[in-house]
Amino acid sequence: MSTNPKPTILILCTGNSCRSHLGEGFLRAALGDSANVQSAGSKPAGFVHPLAIKVMAEVGIDISAHSSKHLKEFLEQRVDTVITVCGNADQACPIFPGQLNRHHWPFFDPAKATGSDEDILRCFRTVRDEMRRVFEAYAAGFKDALKQR
């Protein structure tokens, strides 16, 4: 049995109010205790968007206790994998101590959706579903790699 601490996966976005929390929610649900999954932003909004909380609840994942954090909180910690989900965060992303992997998977920011309330909610659901496919596929590969150790 390895004495290494479980790997930390940090999901970054500019505002840390929507997309990074969707990704964090999916990875936490899929990986359970096999990884320390966190999210942060380069310019955190200070809140988790209510519609992000709503659309995740629709698929059985509760992110209502998540908080918006600045990526600086993680600069002194070992971060094994950084996943950026927007272009601005990718450009602002520093190298973290112990960082082994970096992935950039950009998604549309549903907080910028316009139209009726239903149009905006539909946008949040679309982004959620796109992110679910990507993050659940990543989680499956991550779990397979853990089995190989």
User: What is the set of active-site residues?
Assistant: 13, 86, 93
Cβ(49)–Cβ(111) below 8 Å: yes
Cβ(133)–Cβ(107) below 8 Å: no
3-state class (DSSP) for residue 115: coil
Give the length of the chain. 149
Cβ(3)–Cβ(75) below 8 Å: no
The span from the CA of 148 to the CA of 98, in Å, is: 21
Cα 77 to its chain centre, rounded Å, is 17
